[in-house]
Amino acid sequence: MTLEILTADELLPFRHGFFTRKGGVSSGIYEGLNCGPGSSDQSDAVLANRRLVAEAMGLPKSHLASLHQVHSPDVLVVDGPLTTPRPKCDAMVSATLGVALGILTADCQPVLFAEARSGVVAAAHAGWKGALNGVLGATVDAMVGLGAERRKIKAVIGPCISQRAYEVGPEFMDVFLELDPEFSRFFAQGTGGGKGDRVMFDLPAFGLFRLREAGIAEASYTGHCTYSDPERFYSYRRTTHAGEADYGRLISVIAP
């Protein structure tokens, strides 16, 4: 099956893509393009899938960089192929030709950045914790450190979990409100499910807020919900609700 690659005009002319799960060689609960070495999928299948992604980007597999993501605000400057073990951080920036920056997600936000004048690009993994703790602003700062102009940076949030699928408890919301009571606007009343205190968190809206707070030129969201479209996307939360043992990881990639 042919790979499905979502692109955004804002990131052109850079090679980039938010890859769906379509295509690939994984089977079972990982069926499709599972690119997560941290999953329990067969390692040969994951390597084959990552090779397909690298080929789609016009690069050898060894030049597709990815991280050991830990929900941190930490950013790595990439100036060549990464060696193993994968660095523990959640964002990468680069202006080096011949490498591609790959972020893995399964409900969290994959965010791709580009600044055409300088040739600086970036990729960030921003779940609620990373977004709250500043990974998106730190990524913009790192791009500026490589020569990007803040007011010319564009960023696009790819497929992630939407508010309608992201029900949480009051203790989750309290973490946000302790930092800023105005963050209440990113929560809506939940469906209840026997508990009247449930709320729905708008992760992509919060990501867009953080990006605009960083002072960049443009921030947008592709509008795809990972939870609601099992044919195209992996979802940690959907897997949990279904009682499955594990889940695949989507990859989002950009190259200078």
3-state secondary structure labels for all residues of 111-136: EEEEECCCCEEEEEEECHHHHHHCHH
pLDDT of 69? 97
The verdict on residue 121 lying in a domain is: yes
b vs e for 62-75, b when ≥16 Cβ sit within 10 Å of the residue's Cβ? ebbbbbebebbbbb
Q: Which of 209, 208, 223, 243 is nearest to 161 (CA)?
A: 223
Around Cβ 3, how many Cβ atoms within 10 Å? 18
Looking from the CA of 247 toward its CB, the CA atoms found within 13 Å total 21
Chain segment 233-254, per-residue pLDDT in tens: 999 999 999 999 999 999 999 9
Q: What is the CA radius of gyration of the chain?
A: 17
User: For residue 80, what is the DSSP state?
Assistant: S
Total count of domains within the chain: 1
Output the pTM of the full model.
Answer: 0.96
pLDDT of 197? 84
Q: CA of 15: how far to CAs of 53, 70, 159, in Å?
A: 12, 26, 18
The verdict on residue 200 lying in a domain is: no
Residue 35 CA to residue 46 CA, distance in Å, equals 5
Residue 53 CA to residue 62 CA, distance in Å, equals 11
CATH classification at residue 73: 3.60.140.10
The verdict on residue 219 lying in a domain is: no
pLDDT of 29? 96
pLDDT of 194? 54
The verdict on residue 215 lying in a domain is: no
The verdict on residue 14 lying in a domain is: yes
pLDDT of 193? 56
Residue ranges in the chain whose pLDDT is less than 50 = none
pLDDT of 192? 59
Q: Residue 88's domain spans which residues?
A: 5-161+225-254
The verdict on residue 217 lying in a domain is: no
Omega before 170 within 30 of 0, i.e. cis = no
pLDDT of 53? 97
pLDDT of 10? 97
The verdict on residue 176 lying in a domain is: no
pLDDT of 195? 65
Phi, psi of 169 (to 5 degrees): -90, 170
The verdict on residue 203 lying in a domain is: no
